[in-house]
Structure 1
Amino acid sequence: MVDNATHFHFSSFFLVGIPGLQDYHCWFGIPVCLLFALTLLGNSVIITTVKLEPSLHQPMYFFLCMLAVNDMALASSTAPKMLGIFWFDDHRVSFNSCLVQMYFIHTLCIIESAMLVAMAFDRYVAICVPLHYTSILTTSMVIKMGLVGVSRAILMVLPCPLLIIKLPYHTNCVINHAYCEHMAIVKLASANTFINRAYGISVALSVTIIDLMLIATSYIKILQAVFRLSSQNARSKALGTCAAHVCTILVSYIPALFSFLTHRIGKKVPPSVHIIFASVYLLVPPTANPLVYGVKTKQIRDRVVGLFFPKKNISEK
C-alpha cells in the first residue's frame, strides 16, 4: 500500500469477475476467448483485404480500417485480463495498471464512436453530393478526421485517471467487475466523488448525444436524398450501401446505452446482468463489425473470396 499525508491507496485491486457467478467463470471464458480470437482474425482480414485491393483504396474503406484497428485494440485491452480471471484466478491488478486499462478502454470507446460518425459523414457525401465526393473526402481530410477523433478521446478521458489518483482508498479494494471501469473504481473511494461522477457522466452524455445527433442528421439527409430518386433500383442500391453501417451503429450503441443507464439508474438490475452487458458492449461490436462489413459490402466479400478461395473465384468468373 502507498500512504502519504493526504492519500492512501491500495497497491492493487481485486477484480471479482462476474459477482454471484464465480462458479461458472470457466464457462464464461469460452465465449470471451472465441470473441477475442474472431475479433483479431476478422479485423486483420479486413485490413489485409483493403491493403491488397487497389479498388478499395477509398475513404469509406480507410475509415473501416481505422475502425478495425481500434476494435482490435479495444478487445486486447479487456479480453486477456478477463481470461486471466475466468481461467487462471488471476484477480489482482495493480493500482496503476487498473488506471491504465480504464483509460484505454474509455478512450478507445470514444474513438469508436468518432469513427462511426466519420463513416456516417462518408455515406452522406457519397449519396447526397456524389459529384464532390473526391474533392471533399481527400486523403488529407480522412487523416484529419481520424486525428480529430483520436485527439478528442485522449483529451476527454485524461482527467478521469488524474482525478482518481487524488482520491483516498481506505477500506475496499474489491472491484465488482470483470475489468477496470471508471465508475466501478470511483465507487470504492473513501471520499466525496461528486466531481468524478459529474465529469464521467458529462463525458459519456456529451459524446453519446453529440455523436448520435450527427449520425442521425447524416441519415436523415441520406433518406431525403434517396427517396427523391426516381428509380427503385437506385434507391435500393443507395440504402444497401448504408446497411452495414446502420448494423454497426445498433450493435455498438444499444449495449453501451444499457450499460451506461444501469450504472446510474438501474439499481434493481442484478450486478451479474450489468457486468455481462458491459462485457458484451466491449467484446461483441469488435467481433461483429468485420462480419457485418464482410457480408454486407460486396467489394470486400468478393475480395475475401478471391484471397481465400482463388480457384472458386476463377471458376465463377
Structure 2
Amino acid sequence: MDDDLDDVFRERRRLLALGYRMTGTLADAEDIVQETYLRWYRLTDVEREGIANPAGWLTTVAGRVALDLLGSARRRREQYVGPWLPEPVPTDVFAGAIGAHTASPPDPLDRITLDDDVSTALLVVLEAMTPAERVAFVMHDVFAVPFDEIAEAVGRSSAAVRQLAASARRHVRESRAVAVPRDEHDRVVRAFQNATRTGEIGALLRFLAPDVELRSDGGGVVSAARNVVSGADHVARFLLGIAAKSPRLTVEEQRFGDGIGLVFRNEGAVHSVMNLHVEHGVITQLWIVLNPAKLTHWRPAL
C-alpha cells in the first residue's frame, strides 16, 4: 500500500506541469492537482485496487478538472484589467516532469511540445484556444495520452478529440509560436539588452521588428500599459520611458522556455519579468508581467 501511495505522489510534478500548460498559472495548476488527489482519496480501497494504471487515471481526471476550470477562468479573464499573460516560470520548475527525449524531433512543433520547457509564445496561443482544444492538445501532444482516454476526460468521441487536437496544432503553426534555435534567441536578446543601456532609440530599433508588439500585465493591481503597444518606434519609446522613470531597477538574465528572459528587481525584490519572442533576427513580441499574483514564485514566502 505504501508503494502504491509513493507511486501516486510521484506523479505530482507531472500533474503540476500538465495543469500549468492547461491554465498558464501555478495557482490554477495547484488547484487542479489538489482536486485530482481529492478525487483519488474519495475512492474506496476496492475502487483504487481496481485501477490498473493509477498514473493514467490521475492524468485523465486532471484533464477533466482542467476542462471545468478553464470554463470559469475564461469568464474571469474577460473581466481582467489590461492584457492577461501567463505566469512566467523558469525552466527548472518542471525539470524532468515529462521525461527526457533521446533524439531531437525533426519537426519544430514536436520539439516545443515534447520539451519540459514551455514558452510564453505557446502559452499565449493555448490561451486563444477553446478549453476542449487546449485539453486535447496538451494531453495528447505534450503528455502522450491516447485519444480514447482524452475522450473520456472531455466527454466526446475519440474522433472528435482527434479533430480538436488537429485544430489546436493548426493554431500553433499559424501563430508562429514555434521557437527559433535557442542560441539565436539568446544572441538577439543580449544584443537588445545592451542596446537599451545606450538610451538611444536608434540602437533599440535595430533589434525590433517593424510590427513588434509589447504587452504588459499588471492585473489592475500595479501600473502597466492597458493596451498593446504596437510598432518599433512606440515600443522603443515605451521601454526607454520605463528606464527613465525607474533608474534603480536592476536586470538579470533568467532561462525560460522561450530562451533567455529578463528579471527586473527593485532593491532586490522582483519588480517584473520580461519574456521575448525572436524571429529572423529581430524581436516580434515582448511580454512583461508585473502582476504580483503572478510573481509569487520569485518572491520569498511570508
Q: Same fold (TM over 0.5)?
A: no
The structure that is strand-richer by fraction is 2
Higher relative contact order (CA 8 A, sep 6+): 1
Tell me which structure has the larger Cα radius of gyration: 1
If the length of structure 2 is used for normalisation, what is the TM-score? Answer: 0.30
